[in-house]
Amino acid sequence: MSKENHFETQAIRTQMERSQYLEHSTPLHLTSSFVFEDAEDMRASFSEEKERNIYSRFTNPNTSEFVDKICKLEGAEAGYAYATGMSAVFSTFAALLNAGDHVVSCRSVFGSTHSLFTKFLPKWNIETSYFKVNEVDNIESLIQSNTKILYAETPTNPAVDILDLELLGNIAKKHNLLLIIDNCFATPYLQNPIKFGADLVIHSATKLIDGQGRVLGGVTVGKANLIREVYLFSRNTGPALSPFNAWVLSKSLETLSVRVDRHCENALKVAEFLESHKNVQLVKYPFLKSHPQYDIAKKQMKKGGNIVAFEIKGGIEAGRQFLNKLQLLLLSANLGDTRSIATHPASTTHSKLSEVDRLEVGITDGLVRVSVGLEHTDDIISDLKQALG
Ligand SMILES: *Cc1c(COP(=O)(O)O)cnc(C)c1O
């Protein structure tokens, strides 16, 4: 398969070698280990003179197919696939950081990533300094002599803010930092951070990549020399993706572009509807002209994604009532599913934070996050309308 093929073609036609059965669709290699022809084959395999499968904690044909696809879709050299998005985040940091290193990150990161920075990395004397989404001018002032990694997610969760990847890429280059981007909300279809200077890209494949709420998975891709470190750490510590989940996720990638196209189309309609509703104060969707970082979103994203955030008039109580009235939209911690989902962070996922801490990440009392699914938009909008009414 040539490098020049389009996204859709790569997502479908990147496939492991056919077996002697000449199967059309990729088979599932549900095996924990692989056999050797003789002692010499085994020796050469373990010394990495041969590139071949040894044990599924290291590599497996299904996980390799999934990784190869993500590499092609992200423009990356190499990668490693994980059981979850969080194991990808943790293993990547653990592989690349030494005791005493320092991280600069955007404050608006996934909740468990925030816990990693504030509760667990400090055990190894690794500290993190945060910048806020609207204070990117401060980033350089946070960099210290021991800073090694610059980290961010864009669009952010749950406030759907946008960070300028080109700007982050330039800062990382100037200060010789590794730029690592969690590209989960955009998927490789909408945004390729490597083009803007990212060294590594992380995905939770649990979200839009699976897209149907079935399996957990994660992946880290990027520069081959860095992935080598990440791979050696991971093959010894054991966070590998199961071959079954890899098979599901590789199949899911075949339809990623058509699913995400429709997700984005639906989300834009939902955002436009919400913007016109009298009980809605503010709508945040990257491809709405009213989004504060609309121009940056247009520069780095193909479409706006499937997450819409809005501010319901009436604060916490109005948010809670809105959730209770929903009939079609589900209350769930997942996102990027075929089924539309609504959350009200101030009364649920972020209720333990103080109001000041919530506002730091853009969570106002009335903020509602909708993961727009693939149901008919008339049905999604009519449910939102009756719940807002
Ligand atoms: C869900 C998510 C993760 C963690 O992924 P899991 O597969 O749930 O471990 C990391 N980053 C972002 C942005 C996410 O949305």
pLDDT in tens, the chain (389 residues): 455 689 999 999 999 999 999 999 999 999 999 999 999 999 999 999 999 999 999 999 999 999 999 999 999 999 999 999 999 999 999 999 999 999 999 999 999 999 999 999 999 999 999 999 999 999 999 999 999 999 999 999 989 999 999 999 999 999 999 999 999 999 999 999 999 999 999 999 999 999 999 999 999 999 999 999 999 999 999 999 999 999 999 999 999 999 999 999 999 999 999 999 999 999 999 999 999 999 999 999 999 999 999 999 998 899 999 999 999 999 988 899 999 999 998 888 888 888 888 888 888 999 999 999 999 999 999 999 999 98
How many Å lie between the centroid of ligand 1 and the Cα of residue 85?
5
The reply to whether 162 and 294 lie within a common domain is: no
- The residue among 253, 278, 310 that closes a domain is 253
The reply to whether 246 and 299 lie within a common domain is: no
**Backbone torsions φ then ψ of 229, nearest 5 degrees:** -65, -45
* CB-ligand 1 contact for 86 (6 Å cutoff): yes
- Is 282 part of any domain? yes
Q: Judge residue 2's burial from the number of C-beta atoms within 10 Å of its C-beta, 0-12 exposed, 13-18 middle, 19 or more buried.
A: exposed
In angstroms, what is the C-alpha Rg of the chain?
21
**Backbone torsions φ then ψ of 271, nearest 5 degrees:** -65, -40
**So what's the pLDDT on residue 3?**
57
The reply to whether 283 and 166 lie within a common domain is: no
d(CA 127, CA 259): 39
For the chain, what is the domain count? 2
- Is 292 part of any domain? yes
* CB-ligand 1 contact for 108 (6 Å cutoff): no
Q: What are the structure tokens assigned to 57, written together?
A: 């904690």
List 237's β-bridge partners, or say none: none
**So what's the pLDDT on residue 324?**
95
Q: Which residues of 285-296 are buried (b: 16+ CB within 10 A; e: fewer)?
A: bbbbeebebbeb
**CA terminus-to-terminus distance, the chain:** 53
Distance from the Cα of residue 253 to its chain's centroid: 14
d(CA 295, CA 12): 32
Please give the single-letter amino acid code of residue 355. E
Return all residues near 325 (Cβ < 8 A) that are at least 6 apart.
386, 387
**So what's the pLDDT on residue 76?**
98
Q: What is the CATH number of the domain that holds 84?
A: 3.40.640.10
- Is 1 part of any domain? no
Atom of ligand 1 nearest to the CA of 88: 9
The reply to whether 329 and 355 lie within a common domain is: yes
List 129's β-bridge partners, or say none: 104
- Is 2 part of any domain? no
The reply to whether 260 and 350 lie within a common domain is: yes
The reply to whether 199 and 278 lie within a common domain is: no
Task: Please report, for residues 131, 213, 354, the alpha-carbon distance to residue 350 in angstroms, rounded to integers and kept in the order given.
Answer: 19, 22, 9
How many Å lie between the centroid of ligand 1 and the Cα of residue 304?
19
**So what's the pLDDT on residue 361?**
82
Distance from the Cα of residue 262 to its chain's centroid: 19
**So what's the pLDDT on residue 2?**
53
d(CA 307, CA 381): 14
**Strand residues in 349-389 grouped as ranges (E):** 367-371
- Is 98 part of any domain? yes
Atom of ligand 1 nearest to the CA of 216: 7
Degrees to nearest 5, angle at CA 67 with 179 and 151: 15
d(CA 284, CA 3): 36
The reply to whether 186 and 322 lie within a common domain is: no
- The residue among 204, 235, 253 that closes a domain is 253
Atom of ligand 1 nearest to the CA of 205: 7
The reply to whether 205 and 262 lie within a common domain is: no
Cβ atoms 228, 79 nearer than 8 A: no
Cβ atoms 316, 347 nearer than 8 A: yes
* CB-ligand 1 contact for 157 (6 Å cutoff): yes
How many Å lie between the centroid of ligand 1 and the Cα of residue 337?
13
- The residue among 253, 284, 304 that closes a domain is 253
Residues in the chain: 389
The reply to whether 247 and 273 lie within a common domain is: no
Q: What are the structure tokens assigned to 325, written together?
A: 């009235």
- Is 53 part of any domain? yes
The reply to whether 285 and 230 lie within a common domain is: no
Q: What is the CATH number of the domain that holds 309?
A: 3.90.1150.10
DSSP string, 273-308: HHHT-TTEEEEE-TTSTTSTTHHHHHHH-SS--SEE
d(CA 111, CA 385): 30
Range of the domain at 350: 256-388
The reply to whether 245 and 325 lie within a common domain is: no
Task: Please report, for residues 27, 56, 168, 244, 323, the alpha-carbon distance to residue 105 in angstroms, rounded to integers and kept in the order given.
Answer: 40, 33, 11, 33, 32
- Is 74 part of any domain? yes
Give the mutation target among 157, 206, 208, 361 for probing the ligand 1 site: most ligand atoms within 8 A of CB.
Answer: 206
d(CA 200, CA 182): 9
d(CA 371, CA 329): 9
The reply to whether 149 and 262 lie within a common domain is: no
What is the value of pTM for the model shown? 0.96
- Is 191 part of any domain? yes
* CB-ligand 1 contact for 363 (6 Å cutoff): no
* CB-ligand 1 contact for 152 (6 Å cutoff): no
